[in-house]
């Protein structure tokens, strides 16, 4: 484990290295305890650099066995060697020389899952961000692009399959049961994209003919016996390849494209050139073991990693400060792909819910950072919702400002101008400016300034003058180390809506740039005057969520109800109803705190019914509308002095009120939605299941609800319905005979399927209430649980701490104490996963004082532990600062 050096990396300190490594030849002789890696590097001194300049290579816990310079053993006096660095004090005077470095690794003991490690007896690698330096000494930074040739040697019985990046070359036997394979990747790439896989895996093969008629061999490799679970991923891959050709003109560039699924993986997946490595939960699926949400995730992540081939690999990042250059853009591309494959409106609502649930709290708390950060201590902690999801929103805003055609032309220019380069956000913005002639300098603040802007909006209508005025004021709250903010360029899509839901025409507008239904806010305050408006319209604001901002709108409830029924923008219609629900929940929360029992307006519960029964709306849309804001969503909107128990009570009460007001309709609809056709994972079928399962959740609150859910569980013919029923039983009827029976049955059926057992862990870890901490603690001893596997840890501990507000924030602090101990236990093996877990406490300052003090104690107990990793120390210290 790398302990913290306290070093802070700064964007302004960037300078190119004195040396380049145009060619990298690697030989791996694989064995679990003693793998030998021989790296032969062609090193080139950059032009203008003095001949004596020392060459400083990165390492991380390495054991050096041999080093030669131009074929001669290097003299110890000419070197400085530590496990974490190799310095060649006086490299040869020639511009180019050969460096041979031999290191010895123990992949079997590598539980941090960075560098070369073993997962289920398969050798695999994870190098982004700085894992390559755990394999050999190297200039391990993304602006060092090198052409790799890799030779892998292994025992044929142990590892019949030998894969690396690029195209396959020679292979054969070398005696004593050993064999070898050579791979060559003609595209220069940074070390973080290097990958190797060796093991005994099952293969699913297919092929794809590209737009120019080249045939590409496709392979997905999974644990033997699971081949039939890779069909959906293969289909998603081929659709992704076609889509990138059609939507962005991007063609695949190698002869082969391989994907490997492994069961121990720190993140979702990795876009290594020609050899993507995936967390198996984002590859393996069939109706018996995966939910509709799993299918959608697989489709999105397969696409995401594939799209990186152009946005990330062909054009990479100059340094890690530019991470959003590849991630924000690639998330935007995968969002667009899913929107085209499914329902655009539903996809957008789901994206915004995710952004609000994960990015908004980050932006509003101690871990806030700009989409392009200027400082980091540990880069692994910057693979965040801000870099990814807000990064995507920023690209979306660029498209809104430029329009679809100019956006596409700019992207063409980006690929043309920067192919083969390691680029920056400045390069990216300049492409859009050059191609469109627009000035994006104020807009660029979205990359540089942290925090979620807030817009305060009020409106007046002057009937005599036929004038409608919007008064809009922007503010950006302070964030760590940025107390003063500059004014941003915010593209705010809007609509004025009149009787019957028709758009209201206006004859003129002044006070802000208004183009194609978008108000361009650039100043602190805008008075936007619409003339020729006879009747007071309702205003639909931030349509399609055109900007990632919060709104404080002075809007009559009548208007909100009107928009929830009539807004022609599907996102905004959903938003209007969601706002009504949120307002009602916050009011109920306050009544609970004041010792009163809340009562909900009939027109609200009735509106829920009319949305549920509106056949003009997609099933999936109705399901999203009826899903109440979660406990954490409500807490975020309240903002301070949070008492999770009162929030939960408010939410339960509203759910019951909606169920009681619509019992008959919900029941009828529920029964009419039962699946009659054979299972299909497509969006329409998934939407029907989503609505039916949402209705089940409501109906389970009414008399006979436990029996209904138990019946749903028993008759389920797919995992979506089965897991939904199990969650309803466990959450709504905790400890009932029905719940206990279903949990036991599920456990028995799926005991040997770890990915399905993750669902069983998740459902139990999220059961609300004070008992949750004991449940979770007990489950850590379950035979299917392991502290060494990131998926298990995230399912049990991650779900408990980030998706169980009443359990985790138990008033006596026991949830926090258990959590702190567990984070430290995970950290011993895997600092990266521990650091990610620890972010669950990032909003501790918004809790009520009692819980706040206990959360702080838990954070301090982590901070005061000995030998903390750089990863965890960074998170905990920023959280406490």
Least CB distance from residue 317 to ligand ARG, whole Å?
10
Nearer to ligand ARG, 382 or 592 (CB): 382
How far CA 519 is from CA of 552, 672, 718, in Å, comes to 17, 44, 46
Buried b (16+ CB within 10 A) or exposed e, 507-542: eebebbebeebbbbbeeeebebbbeebeebbbbbbb
Least Å distance, CB 344 to ligand ARG, is 23
Q: What residues numbered 330-359 form the site for Zn ion, per CB under 5 A?
A: 330
Closest CB to Zn ion among 269 and 708?
269
CA dihedral 309, 310, 311, 312 (to 10 degrees): 50
Given the complex with ligand ARG, which of 279 and 343 has the nearer CB atom?
279
Alpha carbon distances (Å) from 534 to 504, 522, 636: 9, 28, 39
CA dist., res. 103 & res. 387, Å (int): 34
CB of 131 to ligand ARG, least distance (A): 7
Which of the 8 DSSP states describes residue 3? B
Q: Which does 578 bind (CB under 5 to 8 A by kind): ligand ARG, Zn ion, none?
A: none
To ligand ARG, the closest distance from the beta carbon of 383 in angstroms equals 4
Pick 266 or 653: Cβ nearer ligand ARG: 266
Residues lying near ligand ARG in the complex (CB under 6 A):
126, 128-129, 266-267, 269-271, 304-305, 327, 380, 383, 832
Sheet holding 19-29, edge to edge: 72-73, 64-69, 96-105, 35-45, 19-29, 146-155, 178-189, 167-175
Pick from ligand ARG, Zn ion, none: which does 266 bind, CB < 5 to 8 A by kind?
Answer: ligand ARG
880 binds, among ligand ARG, Zn ion, none (CB under 5 to 8 A by kind): none
Asked if 776 and 765 count as a contact pair (C-beta separation under 8 A), the reply is: yes
CB 199 to ligand ARG: min, Å? 21
Q: Residue 645 binds which entry of ligand ARG, Zn ion, none, with Cβ cut-offs from 5 to 8 Å by kind?
A: none
Tally the residues of the chain. 881
Residue in 128, 287, 305, 618 annotated catalytic: 305
For 624, 631, 701, the CA distances from 638, given in Å and listed in that order, are 21, 11, 26
838 binds, among ligand ARG, Zn ion, none (CB under 5 to 8 A by kind): none
Between 140 and 569, whose beta carbon lies closer to ligand ARG?
A: 140
| Strand (E) or helix (H) holding 513 | strand 513-515
CB burial of residue 769 (10 Å; 0-12, 13-18, 19+): middle
Indicate the residue among 193 and 457 with the shorter CB distance to Zn ion: 193
Q: For 336-375, give the secondary structure using H, E and C.
A: HHHHHHCCHHHHHHHHHHHHHHHHHHHHCCCCCCCCCCCE
Q: For residue 188, give the nearest of 20, 68, 301 by alpha carbon.
A: 20
Kindly tell me which of 299 and 643 has the beta carbon lying closer to ligand ARG.
299
Q: How far is the CB of 269 from ligand ARG (least distance, A)?
A: 6
Minimum CB–partner distance for residue 182 and ligand ARG (Å) = 26
Closest contact distance (angstroms) between CB of 125 and ligand ARG is 11
Distance of closest approach, residue 856 Cβ to Zn ion, in angstroms: 34
Q: Residue 129 CB, nearest distance to Zn ion (Å)? A: 12
Distance CA 624, CA 693 (A): 11
Q: Which does 229 bind (CB under 5 to 8 A by kind): ligand ARG, Zn ion, none?
A: none
Does 104 participate in catalysis according to the annotation? no
Q: Which of 149, 221, 134 is nearest to 182 (CA)?
A: 149
Question: Which range touches Zn ion (CB under 5 A), out of 185-193, 327-335, 368-376, 536-544?
Answer: 327-335
**CB count, 10 Å around CB of 603?**
11
DSSP 8-state class, residue 377? S
Q: Which does 267 bind (CB under 5 to 8 A by kind): ligand ARG, Zn ion, none?
A: ligand ARG
Q: Which is nearer to ligand ARG, 343 or 384 (CB)?
A: 384
| Inter-residue contact 822 to 833 (CB < 8 Å) | no
Q: Answer whether 145's CB lies under 8 Å from 188's CB.
A: yes
**Residues near Zn ion (CB under 5 A), total:** 2
459 binds, among ligand ARG, Zn ion, none (CB under 5 to 8 A by kind): none
CA distance 792 to 754: 8
Nearer to Zn ion, 316 or 330 (CB): 330
Whichever of 366 and 831 has its CB closer to ligand ARG, that residue is 831
Helix H or strand E encompassing 552: strand 550-553
Omega before 160 within 30 of 0, i.e. cis = no
Vertex 98: Cα angle to 93 and 104 (nearest 5): 130
Binding region for Zn ion (CB under 5 A) out of 179-187, 322-330, 526-534, 566-574: 322-330
C-alpha distances (whole Å) from 561 to each of 543, 581, 608, 858 are: 16, 11, 11, 44
CB of 266 to ligand ARG, least distance (A): 5
CB 69 within 8 A of CB 91: yes
Q: What is the dihedral of CA 818, 820, 825, 827, to 10 degrees?
A: 150
Q: Which is closer to ligand ARG, CB of 382 or CB of 746?
A: 382
Residue ranges in contact with Zn ion by CB under 5 A? 327, 330
Positions marked active-site: 305
């Amino acid at each position: 484990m790398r302990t913290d050096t306290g070093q802070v990396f700064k964007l302004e300190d960037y300078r190119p290295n004195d040396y380049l490594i145009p060619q990298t030849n690697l030989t791996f002789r694989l064995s679990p305890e003693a793998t030998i890696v021989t790296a032969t590097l062609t090193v080139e001194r950059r032009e203008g650099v003095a001949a004596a300049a020392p060459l400083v290579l990165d390492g991380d816990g390495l054991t050096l066995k041999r080093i030669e310079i131009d074929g001669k053993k290097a003299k110890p006096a000419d070197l400085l060697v530590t496990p974490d660095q190799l310095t060649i004090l006086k490299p040869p005077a020639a511009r180019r020389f050969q460096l041979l470095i031999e290191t010895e690794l123990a992949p079997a003991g590598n539980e941090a899952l960075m560098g070369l490690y073993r997962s289920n007896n398969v050798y695999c690698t994870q190098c982004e961000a700085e894992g390559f330096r755990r394999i050999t000494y190297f200039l391990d930074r993304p602006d060092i692009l090198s052409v790799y040739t890799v030779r892998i040697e292994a025992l044929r019985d142990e590892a019949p399959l030998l894969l690396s990046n690029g195209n396959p070359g020679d292979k054969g036997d070398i005696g004593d049961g050993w064999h070898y394979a050579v791979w060559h990747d003609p595209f220069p790439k940074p070390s973080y994209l290097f990958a190797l896989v060796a093991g005994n895996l099952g293969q699913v093969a297919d092929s794809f003919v590209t737009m120019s008629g080249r045939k590409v061999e496709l392979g997905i490799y999974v644990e033997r016996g699971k081949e039939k679970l890779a069909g959906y991923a293969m289909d998603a891959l081929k659709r992704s390849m076609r889509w990138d050709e059609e939507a962005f003109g991007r063609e695949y560039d190698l002869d082969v494209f391989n994907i490997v699924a492994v069961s121990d993986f720190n993140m979702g997946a990795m876009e290594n050139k020609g050899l993507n490595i995936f967390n198996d939960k984002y590859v393996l699926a069939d109706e018996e073991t995966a939910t509709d949400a799993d299918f959608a995730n697989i489709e999105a992540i397969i696409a995401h990693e594939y799209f990186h081939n152009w946005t990330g690999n062909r054009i990479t990042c100059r340094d890690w400060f530019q991470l959003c250059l590849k991630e924000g853009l690639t998330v935007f591309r995968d969002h667009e792909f899913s929107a085209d494959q499914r329902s655009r409106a539903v996809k957008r609502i789901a994206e915004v819910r995710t952004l609000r649930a994960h990015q908004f709290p980050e932006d509003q708390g101690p871990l806030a950072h700009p989409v392009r950060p200027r400082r980091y201590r540990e880069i692994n902690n910057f693979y965040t919702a801000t870099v990814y999801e807000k990064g995507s929103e920023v690209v979306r805003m660029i498209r809104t400002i430029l329009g679809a055609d100019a956006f596409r032309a700019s992207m063409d220019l980006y690929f043309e101008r920067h192919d083969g380069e390691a680029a920056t956000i400045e390069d990216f913005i300049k492409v859009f400016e050059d191609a469109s002639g627009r000035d994006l300098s104020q807009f660029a603040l979205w990359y540089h300034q942290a925090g979620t802007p807030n817009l305060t909006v009020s409106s007046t209508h002057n009937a005599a003058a036929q004038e409608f005025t919007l008064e809009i004021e922007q503010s950006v709250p302070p964030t760590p180390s940025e107390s003063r903010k500059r004014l941003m360029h915010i593209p705010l899509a809007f609509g004025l809506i009149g009787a019957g839901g028709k758009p209201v025409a206006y004859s003129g507008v002044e006070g802000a740039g208004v183009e194609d239904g978008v108000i361009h806010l650039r100043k602190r305050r805008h008075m936007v005057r619409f003339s020729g408006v006879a009747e007071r319209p309702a205003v639909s604001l931030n349509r399609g969520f055109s900007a990632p901002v919060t709104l404080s709108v002075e809007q009559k409830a009548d208007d909100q109800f009107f928009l929830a029924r009539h807004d022609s923008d599907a996102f905004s219609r959903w938003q209007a109803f969601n706002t009504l629900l949120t307002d009602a929940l916050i009011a109920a929360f306050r009544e609970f705190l004041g010792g009163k029992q809340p009562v909900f307006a009939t027109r609200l519960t009735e509106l829920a019914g009319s949305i549920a029964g509106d056949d003009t709306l997609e099933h999936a849309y109705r399901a999203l509308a009826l899903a109440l804001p979660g406990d954490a969503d409500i807490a975020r909107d309240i903002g301070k002095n949070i008492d999770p128990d009162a929030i939960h009570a408010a939410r339960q009460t509203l759910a019951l009120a909606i169920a009681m007001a619509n019992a008959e309709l919900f029941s009828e609809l529920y029964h009419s939605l039962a699946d009659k056709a054979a299972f299909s994972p497509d969006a329409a079928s998934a939407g029907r299941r989503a609505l039916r399962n949402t209705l089940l959740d409501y109906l389970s609150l009414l008399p006979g609800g436990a029996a209904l859910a138990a019946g749903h569980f028993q008759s389920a013919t797919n995992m979506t319905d089965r897991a939904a029923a199990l969650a309803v039983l466990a959450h709504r009827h905790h400890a009932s005979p029905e719940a206990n029976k279903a949990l036991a049955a599920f456990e028995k059926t799926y005991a040997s399927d770890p990915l399905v057992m993750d669902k069983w862990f998740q459902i139990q870890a999220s059961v609300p209430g004070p008992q949750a901490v004991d449940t979770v603690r007990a489950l850590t001893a379950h035979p299917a649980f392991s502290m060494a596997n990131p998926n298990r840890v995230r399912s049990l501990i991650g779900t408990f701490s980030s998706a169980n507000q009443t359990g985790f924030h138990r008033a006596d602090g026991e949830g926090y104490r258990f959590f702190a101990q567990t984070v430290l236990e995970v950290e011993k093996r895997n600092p990266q996963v521990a650091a990610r877990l620890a972010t669950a406490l990032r909003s501790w300052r918004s809790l009520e004082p009692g819980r706040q003090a206990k959360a702080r104690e838990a954070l301090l107990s982590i901070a005061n532990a000995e030998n903390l990793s750089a990863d965890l120390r960074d998170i905990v210290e920023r959280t406490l600062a």
